[in-house]
Amino acid sequence: MTTTPLTHTSQDSGVPESARDFSVEEKVVVITGAAQGIGRELARQFAAAGAFAVVADLDLNKAESVVQEIRDAGGDGLAVKVNVADEPSVQAMVNTVVEKWGRIDVLINNASIFATIEKGPFDQIPVAQWEQVLKVNVTGTYLCVRAVAAHMRKASFGRIINISSDSVTRGTVNYLHYVTSKSAVIGMTNSLARELGGFGITVNCVRPGMVATEVDRKLTIEGRERVASQQCIPRGMVPTDLVGVMFFLATSASAFITGQTIAVDGGYTHSS
């Protein structure tokens, strides 16, 4: 189904002029890996705030379930099946979104392999698993940015938000493949910010702490309490703790902020 392309309601001047510059209303927001966990909550919250939420995920049934939640709450969304590690699949996803809404304003690269990763010493990680983690977490992020960039350049507006991890600064043991992949995402963010800044496109990164979601991360209650006790804000982190910074980075209010990695972890990695 083809609909009339939407047009922007305000120019990305770089100087916030009204409360609308802090709004995500009517923005087309693509969130990968949005059928569960952090991505699901972000999709629900963006839609609740008036954005058009694209729930992009490998599991189409779960993605459609999230979109139904969004519609039941009065929002608007679209479920699209995508394998972020596969270039044709990513391009097809982007084409579907552009055909429906005429543009992509925001890309949140949330899809990654983590919960299913087997922990182990670096020299015992199977090479096949190492390559799979990097293909999804790093190449997948790259392919999604590459696919949306042309449309954002044409619009002279774009917000790309990558998601890394606090494990990068902590050097979490027995997760070398994951930590390496999320370190690469930060480096990618820095370089992309320079390449795309002249087109009105900002590229930033959010580095969450340990987020409690419906996805089983095989963490004990004691383990979660131990992490919370080491934070400046000593409570467990939930997906909604990420919503504020995501909204801000998705709007015109953040037009002069790019190439930054923002920690949202209750101060767990805060250095004195």
Active site residues: 178
From the CA atom positions of the chain, what is the Rg in Å?
A: 18
Residue 79 forms beta bridges with which residues?
55
Burial 136-160 (b: 16+ CB within 10 A, else e): bbbbbbbbbbebbbebbeebebbbb
Contacts of 76 by beta carbon, 8 Å cutoff, 6+ apart: 47, 52, 53, 70
The closest alpha carbon to 39, from 19, 20, 67, 16, belongs to: 67
For residues 166 and 191, give the distance between their C-alpha atoms in angstroms, rounded to a whole number: 20
The one-letter amino acid code at 24 reads V
Helix, strand, coil percentages in the chain from 3-state DSSP, rounded to 5: 45, 15, 40
Q: Where are the strands (E) in the chain, listed by range? A: 28-32, 52-57, 76-81, 106-109, 158-163, 201-208, 261-264
Cα 39-44-45 angle, rounded to 5 deg: 100
